[in-house]
A and B are shown apart, each in its own frame.
Chain A
Amino acid sequence: MKLENRVAVVTGAGRGIGKAVSLAFAREGADIAVASDNGVENLAVAGEIEQLGRLALPFEVDVSDPAQVASMAEQVIDRFGHVDILVSNAGIIRRGLLIYSEDSDWKRTIEVMVYGTYHCCKAFVPGMVERNDGRVIIMSSVMGKMSNPANSSYAASKHALIGIARTLATEVVMLGAKGVTVNAICPGIADTDMVTGPEGSMAKLSEMLGISPEEVWKQFMKKMSLQERLIEPEEIAAMALYLASDDARGITGQAINVCGGTIMH
C-alpha cells in the first residue's frame, strides 16, 4: 500500500473532491482527520473510512478561523501523534461581477480558501519540517491560471493558492526540510456539488441566465475542456494520492492540471 500508516488531514473532506481524496488515502493505508464545516457529512465519511479498516477523526471546523484550526491541530496530534499529509481542499464560491459584488461575499471567499490554507499550513507544516518528512497538497483550480468571469474572488483565491504552494515549497527547503514537498492541484470542472449540486454553478447560471442546466452545459462548460466532460472526483483523488506517495518525492512547487485539456500551462 502506498500510504501505509500515514496520517492525513483533509479539509473539505465531507463531500466531493475531499471525500474522494480521503477514501483514496484510506484505501492505501492512511488514517484520516476528516475536517469540514459540515459535521454530519464528516461523520458519514469517517464511517466509510472505518469500514476500510482505518482510523478516522471527524472534525467540524471553519478553516477561516485560526482558533478553530489550532484546536483541530491539537486534537489531531493528540489522537494520531503526528501528521504526514495535509490536503487543504475546503473551498466555496460566491459568484458575482466584481463591480457589483458584496464586499463581505467577496472577502469570505478569500478568507475560506486563502486564509484557510494559510492557517492549516501554519498549524501542520512545522511538524513536517521537524521530521523532515511530509506532503502538503493544496486544491487550487484551473481558475488559478485563467480568467473566471463573474467569479473574481474565486479566481483571485485560486491564483493565490498557487503562490502559496510555490513559496512554501521553497521555504521548507530553506528550513532544511528537503523531505517535505508542497504542490497544488488544478482540477478542471468536476462533478461535485460545487458544479452540479442544487446550489452549484450549473443551477446558479441556469437561474441567472434563464436557460436550462443542459443549455448551460452546452453553451458555457462543454467547450471548456478538450474532452467535453466533467472530471470525476476520483481523478483528482488519484493525483493527490500520487503526490502523497513516495513516487512523487521529487515533485515540489508544482501546480498540476487535471482538467481534460482545459488549459495547458
Chain B
Amino acid sequence: MSKVPALELNDIHKTFGDAEVLKGISLKAYDGDVISILGSSGSGKSTFLRCINLLENPTKGEILFNGEKLGLEHGKGPDLYPTDMGQLTRMRQQVGFVFQSFNLWPHMTILENVMEGPLNVLKRPKKEVLEYCEHLLNKVGIADKKHMYPSQLSGGQQQRVAIARTLAMDPQVILFDEPTSALDPELVGEVLGVMRGLADEGRTMLIVTHEMNFAKEVSSEVVFLHQGLVEEKGTPQKVFEAPESERCKAFISSTF
C-alpha cells in the first residue's frame, strides 16, 4: 500500500456567519479505506464532506489529493477559494460525490446521465463509454431502465443510478452524504447492497451515514463528529464496542 494518502484533510474549519460549524477536522484516507462518519444531526458531517471538493468553501485548512495540495486563497470574506480552477476541476473528476437527494439530471435518460461525465468531461470515445456505462448499470441492477427518465424511477433506483454515474468517472475516492436517508425503509437495502459491493472491491470511500449496522460491517475506520470536532475515531470494534468518549457511547447506544 502506498504511503501517500489518497485524500488528506488537515485542520478544516468552516464558519457560516457567526457559527463555527467545523472547528478543525483532520482525516487521512488511504487507498482501499472505507471511512464512516457518524454524528448527531447538525454536528457538521455534511459540511465537512462538502468542504472536501469545495461544494462548500472552508475558512481554513488544507486539502491534499494524492499528496498534491489544492491551492487555496482568501477572497473577500472569510472563505477560501481555489487559486486554480483547473486544478480543482481535475481533482473533482477523481473524487466522486453521491448526494442524499440523488440529483440526477431530469432531462436526460438514465444512460445519458451515466455517460455524461466520461463522454463530455473526460472526452473518452463514445463506444467505450457506452459499453462501460451499460456494464455499470448492469452492476447496480438498472440495466432494463436505461432509456427511462429519472422521474420514472423509484428513489432507490435513482440513487443506484447516481452511484453508477459517479463510478462512470472512475474516481479514486467516493464521498457519500447520507445516500439512504431520503429513501423509504424498504429501498434502503438495495442501495446499501451496491455500496457493500464497492467496499468489497476495495474502493476508497468516505461515507456519512446513520446506518449503524452497515457502518459497523463495512468500515475500516469510523469517525464520530460532535459539534464540529472529531470526538472519537478508530476501528469499528473500538468505536462501537468500547468508545472512550461518553458522548460517543451515548450516541451509539441511542441508535442501536
Q: Do A and B bind?
A: no
Name B residues whose Cβ lies closer than 8 Å to a Cβ of A.
none
